[in-house]
Amino acid sequence: MDISKRRCGDCGERRLARKNVRSDFKSPWRDYPLAFVTCDLNLWVCGNCKNYVLVGGDAENIDSAMDKSVRDQASQFIDIIRSKTGLTSGQVAELVGVSPQHLSSIHSGKARPSFSIWNFLKVMAIDPVSLVKQANPALDIVHENMLLRA
């Protein structure tokens, strides 16, 4: 496809450039109201209005990058929760409300979590100690001084 003949759908400009939009590309995707790409994704960008111009297989590339990003983020959230609290995978699964096998599949990237599970993992990763203490006050988690080093 000759890109020089393509125009931006918004401003009509022909100055399009291929750009890696990692961390810049945010969009509603499937049930995720605002997902963002955390892996490499190259798209055509208008030099005038900075909007994206999809060409050829770009839609499939976006779908693939969004899927990979959501899976990677969920795995990172689980790592953060476990490292900051000292909880086992089974304990994290119980707090999240999924089976240990399903949490393991999410952690390994084999399963993509639903938005509600992804969002809960994200919230837990922000302040896992407080959330764990509220969810289960009897649960003995890591000592405070160890949390400061994590």
Q: What three-state secondary structure class fits 19?
A: strand
pLDDT bin (cut points 50, 70, 90) of residue 4 is confident
Q: Yes or no: say if 40 and 22 are a contact pair by the CB < 8 Å rule.
A: yes
Query: Which tokens go with 4?
Result: 């020089």
pTM, rounded to two decimals: 0.81
pLDDT per position as a tens digit, 54-111: 988 999 999 999 999 999 999 999 999 999 888 899 999 998 999 999 999 999 999 9
Q: Yes or no: say if 142 and 86 are a contact pair by the CB < 8 Å rule.
A: yes
The dihedral built from the CA positions of residue 31, 34, 40 and 46, taken in this order, carries a sign that is positive
Would you say residue 142 has pLDDT above 80?
Answer: no
What pLDDT score was predicted for residue 138?
A: 65
What pLDDT score was predicted for residue 128?
A: 82
